[in-house]
Chains A and B, each alone.
Chain A
């Protein structure tokens, strides 16, 4: 007997009531839904197995696969949804709340999906509901970025669907388990599904949608976006492709890639978005290593990342909300204003967490993946991951706060950006709760390790870990302080792989519209002429053929002019052309019947003699 309902359903059906409620009741309702889902999850955790099985066309859809892996992701998504809803409580548009709840609900649908059809269904709902969190910003940039975002996700969805269909055709099963892996055409279904997953995980070169779209989303919508799409992709990668070696390298490169781009960014949220890519790199790498500790590390890092990245985006959101600006070249010196020290310190808790300072949650999860790479004897991966840690602290922990709250503005005596709006209080309460969770997990990691699917025999607070991490981060600060002059924002954008569809794509469309269409038009014209000549010919075939013969003859005879034959032909031709199609010679109806009879007779002869006179 099932005593619980699907937690995704609580969000999805719950979202429908939001527009009906008003004022205070709506706010209470918004906060109660995630809490209800969390309580529901706790009930679920007492029973393991497969629930909510619905037969469909000879297949069995599984909406509720409950095991430790899906539960961990379920917990963190629900907890994050609560904090984020609290952060977004002041938002007036109902549609914004509805799309956020559909987004959360469909992500939970993905997490508990036990078969590929259910997975695909929620996968698509996730893409489309999240789109509205971008479009609600209602600017030209957000509308365009939203279109690009959904195009990429539709492409990913199609890859996934194609892979699923081929997979079902090959194996006859729609169960969502580990996929076959190897090289060769036989693994095409796995490759296509893999590609669909990689797009959502924002693995370079398929990552540009993230850094393109997230910074254009609404202030509260961006906070939601940071958590669900990429981390649910990590979840499905763990389910389907754990231990696939290429993920190790993709992940390690991804971790550094995000860091390099973060140096060049001038937009506060785009910088943080590149750090999502970098952090997800650790998780992808962990999935690729595939040992118990690496998988546990990936899950733990996803858990912690959702919390601190939400906190960072919340902090950046408060700055944008208050100043209306998001570029480093337009920010600076905010620390002395009301609410800003509070924002700064809450942001810094997120920054210390993402950088992996001891006593913050990033430390207890990131080091797990790094340690797993050491245990799997991957020195280059280890160096890349540690290098990404340096870059993370450099940007999120040093560059962003320096250029936003302090910066050169005082020295240059330029007018400081004054906050123009008072931020809603609920934003700070949400940040406070998220910050508390970051520190809590950092101080008491057993709370997190206890719910991981594999027995995590890992002690983050070994002396050597603490010392190595402290050295790494402290000396990063030294280098930052020496080179801080180089880190000021410049009013530029940075080209990324979205260039291919934003510039080359546009050129391709131009090519289709101009040269290709005119080429097609000329072909069209030629074909039409040929068709016309057939029409002309069929109006009176005997006369038409005579005209053609006469034309050819005159062409041949012209060089021997004057010539009586030529003159005669030319005159005939002129006359025939003038009269054409002239009077058509018609047959009596009887001749038509005769033709039909002859045809049938021929058929009869063949029919009767087949097998007798000939074979």
Chain B
């Protein structure tokens, strides 16, 4: 029960952080144009929440692509090198 409650709290904190990071991004874009410009090299960096999208999509891609590569090609049984 204690663990369950703790996990719930942790997820509460997580959601707040997620929202805060997006909100902060929007605010910085809105208010500190000049400051934001100084650190913007590519077009996509002006999109608010780009890093969030990239983080999520990138993570899913890394897992799925690697797993596919592993299953189709690279992963072998543990004694592969003894047998071959």
Give A residues with C-beta under 8 Å from B. Answer: 259-261, 263-264, 371, 374-375, 377, 379, 382-383, 386-387, 390-391, 394, 462-465, 467-480, 483, 486-487, 490-496, 502-503, 506
Contacts and interface: CB of A to CB of B under 8 A. Distances in A.
Contacts of A391: 58-59, 62
Given A472-B52, A474-B52, A495-B74, A260 B32 contact: no
B59 A390 contact: yes
Contacts of A468: 25, 45, 50-51
A506 B18 CA distance: 53
B53 A475 contact: yes
A462 B62 contact: no
B55 A390 contact: yes
A471 B81 contact: no
A492 B76 contact: yes
A483 B62 CA distance: 11
Given A475-B53, A486-B67, A495-B73, 20 more contacts: A260-B62, A260-B69, A261-B66, A371-B39, A386-B54, A387-B62, A390-B59, A464-B40, A465-B39, A468-B45, A468-B50, A471-B49, A471-B51, A471-B52, A473-B55, A474-B14, A476-B56, A479-B55, A483-B63, A495-B75
B75 A493 contact: yes
B28 A475 contact: no
A475 B54 CA distance: 8
Nearest to A386: B54
A263 B68 CA distance: 11
Nearest to B11: A481
Nearest to B61: A387
A373 to B, nearest CB: 9
B11 to A, nearest CB: 9
B28 A467 contact: yes
Interface in B23-51: 24-25, 28, 32, 35-36, 38-42, 45, 49-51
A474 B49 CA distance: 12
Nearest to B22: A471
Contacts of B41: 374-375, 377, 382
A475 B76 contact: no
B65 A260 contact: yes
B81 A492 contact: no
A355 to B, nearest CB: 11
A259 B62 contact: yes
B21 A471 contact: yes
Contacts of A382: 41-42
A23 to B, nearest CB: 41
Per DSSP, chain A at the interface is helix
B2 to A, nearest CB: 13
7 contacts: A374-B41, A475-B53, A478-B56, A492-B77, A495-B73, A495-B74, A506-B84
Interface string B2-26: 0000000000001001100110110
A470 B40 CA distance: 17
Given A475-B18, A477-B14, A463 B62 contact: no
A474 B63 contact: no
A490 B66 CA distance: 13
A503 B76 CA distance: 13
Contacts of B22: 471
Contacts of A379: 42
Nearest to A144: B81
A400 to B, nearest CB: 15
A264 B18 contact: no
A547 B36 CA distance: 103
A490 B56 contact: no
Given A462-B39, A467-B24, A394 B63 contact: yes
A470 B62 contact: no
Most chain B C-beta atoms within 10 Å of own C-beta, residue among A386, A394, A494, A502: A494
A473 B58 CA distance: 11
B46 to A, nearest CB: 10
Nearest to B24: A467
A480 B59 contact: yes
Contact of B62 (A263, A464, A491, A494): A263
Nearest to B59: A479
Contacts of A490: 75
A259 to B, nearest CB: 6
B49 to A, nearest CB: 7
Nearest to B40: A464
A532 to B, nearest CB: 44
A86 B73 CA distance: 42
A493 B18 contact: no
B66 A492 contact: no
Contacts of B76: 492-495
Given A263-B66, A491-B78, A463 B35 contact: yes
Contacts of B80: 493, 495
A374 B78 contact: no
B43 to A, nearest CB: 9
Contacts of B28: 463-464, 467
Contacts of B59: 390-391, 394, 475-476, 479-480, 483
Given A462-B39, A475-B52, A467 B21 contact: yes
A377 B32 CA distance: 23
B55 A472 contact: yes
A374 B42 contact: yes
Contacts of B81: 493, 502-503
Contacts of B45: 468
A513 B27 CA distance: 71
Nearest to A463: B28
A383 B44 CA distance: 11
Contacts of B58: 386-387, 390-391, 476
A394 B65 CA distance: 14
A474 B18 contact: yes
Contacts of A371: 39
Contacts of B65: 260
A371 to B, nearest CB: 8
